[in-house]
Amino acid sequence: MEWTITDSLDRFEAEAGGFLGADPARNTVLLSVCAALRRRGPGAYGPLPPVFGWWRGSGGAVEAAFLRTPPHPLLLTGGTPESARALAAGPAGAQEAVRGERQAVLAFAEAWRQRTGGQVVAGRDTRLYRLAELIPRPMTPPGAARTAGPADRALVLRWEAEFARDVGAQTPGGQGAVDDALSRGGRVLWELPGGEPVSMAGWTPPADGTSRVVAVYTPSGRRGRGYAGAVVGAVSRAALAAGAGEVVLFTDLANPVSNGLYRKLGYVPVGDFAERILRGAGFSTGDGAGAGGGEISAA
């Protein structure tokens, strides 16, 4: 039972692809990040090369995986407590943050704390939802959905930055990720009858049949009017039309409004995810070992 760590996307997908694809909803971020690396190259999320890893249990099957796209946090799948503790004890334990399925993240963080004497700080806790059946809204706000194009780039970049500021996170991939999304119709705007955009949402290309709703943002002065629900409904339909068998999204557990909204649209809970910030003694992220790329907003 051990972790294998590599910088080869080909090898990672060959060894761990079956494990990830067996539950593409829970593994949506790893799958979509790998797909983005295929489309945009190894520098899609930053100048340092991505790093990948997988854990084989006593029976020889892959039971856990991770990836990291520096400078973004290590992103960890579910697995056994033993696999999470072993990862924290090796080179991949040299991290500033870890994200992923809640129990694996907590096991990793506790093992890291015991090893280093450092401090573990709770980050954002999220819940993964999947679309069971899209429920029509009883009242649709004025306006209509429109796919964003190159002429909307400045607006989308500004709203992506405001979204990231609001949730206290980076926008993985920066301008390159936005350009990639715009090139494939991956951002949708809700416009008022006069043509003013008032809300935005995006969706990732289906990866192993699963697409994820991302970058849901309404400027503060426009909130509470139904625009977010309308545009999320539109991107959910767009993802299904693009061939997604499953559509998923993450919500902040601290935000009861968004959790209630998505349930009303037909999304049902799948599982809980967590982020832990690691502040400690004597470790540097500069060795490149680890994983990440986890994001709420883009891939």
165: containing domain: 129-271
pLDDT-derived band at 282, boundaries 50, 70, 90 = very low
Both 101 and 194 in one domain: the answer is: no
185 belongs to a structural domain: yes
Both 88 and 154 in one domain: the answer is: no
292 belongs to a structural domain: no
What local confidence, expressed as pLDDT, does residue 93 receive? 65
**Lowest-confidence range among 208-222, 224-238, 274-288?**
274-288
Both 108 and 212 in one domain: the answer is: no
Average pLDDT over residues 280-296: 36
Q: Is the pLDDT of residue 280 over 80?
A: no
Task: Please give the mean pLDDT across all residues of the chain.
Answer: 90
Q: Would you say 232 and 265 are in contact if contact means Cβ atoms under 8 Å apart?
A: yes
299 belongs to a structural domain: no
What local confidence, expressed as pLDDT, does residue 215 receive? 93
- Among residues 199, 162, 203, the alpha carbon closest in space to that of 35 is found at 203
Domain count of the fold of the chain: 2
What single-letter DSSP state applies at residue 69?
-
What local confidence, expressed as pLDDT, does residue 285 receive? 34
Both 83 and 216 in one domain: the answer is: no
Q: Would you say 81 and 69 are in contact if contact means Cβ atoms under 8 Å apart?
A: no
Average pLDDT over residues 98-124: 94
293 belongs to a structural domain: no
**Lowest-confidence range among 25-39, 155-169, 220-234?**
155-169
Both 92 and 170 in one domain: the answer is: no
Both 108 and 148 in one domain: the answer is: no
What local confidence, expressed as pLDDT, does residue 281 receive? 47
Strand ranges for 43-151 from DSSP E: 51-56, 62-68, 74-76, 97-101, 119-122, 126-131, 144-147
